[in-house]
Amino acid sequence: MIIMQQAQSIDFTLPVYELRYSVREVSHYFPANSRDCLTVLQNISYDVVSHEFLAIVGPSGCGKSTLLNIMSGLMKPSIGSVMLDGELLSGISRKVGYVSQMDSLLPWRTVLDNVTFGLEFRNIKTKEAREIARHLIEESGLSGFEKCYPHELSGGMKKRVDIIRVLAIDPEVIIMDEPFAALDVFTRELLQEYILGVWKETHKTIIFVTHDLTEAITLADRVLLMSAGPSTIKSDYLISLPRPRLPLEIRYNPTFIELHRTIWKDLKVEVELSRKAEVEKQ
Amino acid sequence: MALVLALWEFLAFRGLADPFYISRPSSILIDFKNLFVSGEVWPHVYITMQATIIGLALGCAGGVVTAFLMARFRMVEKILDPLIMAVYGIPKLALGPLFILWFGLGINSKIFLAFIWVFFIMYFNAYGGFKNVEPRLVNAAKLMGANRLQIIVKIILPSSLPWLFTGLRAGLGVALLGAIVGEYIGSTAGLGHLVQYAGNMFNTTRVFSTILIMSLIMMLMNEGVKRAEKWILRWKPSEL
């Protein structure tokens, strides 16, 4: 069942949308033992357009991370294909940046050297790379921390560095796998605001996986709901909330509340299903 | 420490314990000074250090390279693992006479004894380091577009450095040990030879002063590596 809600207002100030990702009939299996396979994803299809902020929600263990690994080119789907900008994705693409749940900063590098990390694989001179990194560090409000090592930063600051490290390589798509899940509520809200700002300024395509429905609705143009494993795309909601959005205020908007209720009802069924499956496993 | 020395001196001075067996701190210090003043000790120190450092370097290099190949290629691991474990099981000391038979009484057999001890220590540490590289760091580098060589140089090596330093520090001790034991078994010079010779002559004082030299050398090397480690691993959160 696919529910499509019409967008109430279309923001004409945005550039023309074009098809960016096209996920077609993707299924994925993991070998469970010598005979059986564990089906993680089943027949998943959806499109992502440029400059879109897409959130993917689903019960835990539903294969969201597998889907992201496939979209980033780290993994190949067992069946089906992923097209990125009209080309078949066959490995890691330079158009894609990836932010994971755990920060993956290199502990032996300073903030500055962490931000230039991705540029080292792109034949950019050290001086120029540092220029880019310094600019991004300043913009993200981390000035003065250039020479700090990751262990000297707070969780929220590390996440910011993680994000600007990806911004430094200037990808067209940023894939984020539950990026704020490990942070406390206040830090998470600040970072939601930050990522909305980044998105507004750079107009990159963002694919954002989360298990926090409020976060998904706050940020995204569209929320995809994944079912309990083997996962399919159960529903596809358009989030027709006005922008710019303030994370702390938008949640009192009646449309927000209505959307939250509808999607939560839908999601709850899946969460219960996945709980039941887990209990049966044990 | 001072108390022990004072007690030792007192017992020996009063004849409560026979200085023939335990010597006296004051005589040891005088002998220690004489060894340096006469310059007699330098060739011995030089010979032992030469074997120690060459053995250490070879052992570290061999251990790291083997560990790297084993951690990276399953085939190599399957072939080499039983072999390494078999050799590891042999008490290395038992190999000493063989080495002397193969390499003669010169520096080579000492180097080999030091090497084989260092090799295993370094191998186990380095292997642990290579196997414990965070997969998310490797993935992050891959997603940024790093190729295999870049992943090795920029992720695997730096993240294994703390393990390699642990191996180096432990290796330092056994390298010196290997060289000295090699000299015990058979040699004509070196600190091990000095101890052995003094022991045969019942010169307890000389035995102690040579031991003092060995322990000073060890402390110096250890301190040097510790400082290098502290500087190179300055990115690590200091443990409380």
The reported pTM is 0.81
Per the CB < 8 A criterion, the answer to whether A118 and A136 are in contact is no
Q: For residue B224, which amino acid is it?
A: G
Interchain contact A261–B (C-beta under 8 A): no
At A15, the pLDDT band (50, 70, 90 cuts) reads low
CB contact under 8 A, B147 and A121: yes
Residue A282 has pLDDT above 80, yes or no: no
- Looking at residue A1, what is its pLDDT? 42
- Chain B residues with CB-CB distance to A108 below 8 A: 158-159, 161, 233, 235-236
User: Distance (Å, rounded) from C-alpha A83 to C-alpha B52?
Assistant: 60
Per-residue confidence (pLDDT) for residue B218, from 0 to 100: 93
pLDDT of res. A248: 87
Residue A223 in this model has a pLDDT that exceeds 80: yes
Cβ-count burial B92-111 (b if 16+ within 10 Å, e if not): beebbeebbeebeeebbbbb
Question: ω before A15 within 30° of 0 (cis)?
Answer: no
Is some CB atom of chain A closer than 8 A to the CB atom of B154? Answer: yes
Q: Give the residue, A9 or B57, on which the prediction is more confident.
A: B57
Mean residue pLDDT across chain B: 89
More confident residue, B240 or A99: A99
Written as six digits, the tokens of B94 are: 């038992």
Which pLDDT band holds residue A2 (cuts at 50, 70, 90)?
very low
Percent residues over pLDDT 90 in chain A: 63
pLDDT in tens, B222-235: 999 999 999 999 88
Q: Which CATH class is domain B41-229?
A: mainly alpha
Tell me what pLDDT residue B92 has.
Answer: 80
pLDDT of residue B6: 85
At B66, is the pLDDT very low, low, confident or very high (cuts 50, 70, 90)?
A: very high
Please say whether the beta carbons of B133 and B83 come within 8 A. Answer: no
Place A14 in a pLDDT band, splitting at 50, 70 and 90.
Answer: low
pLDDT tens figures, A133-180: 999 999 888 999 999 999 999 999 999 999 999 999 999 999 999 999
The predicted-structure confidence for B178-203, as pLDDT tens digits, reads as follows 999 888 887 788 999 999 899 888 88
CA distances B113 to A177, A266, B25, B181, Å, are 52, 70, 32, 8
User: Across the interface, which of B143, B154, B234 has its CB nearest the CB of A92?
Assistant: B143
Whole-number Å distance between alpha carbons of A135 and A126: 14
User: In whole angstroms, what separates CA B110 from the centre of its chain?
Assistant: 12
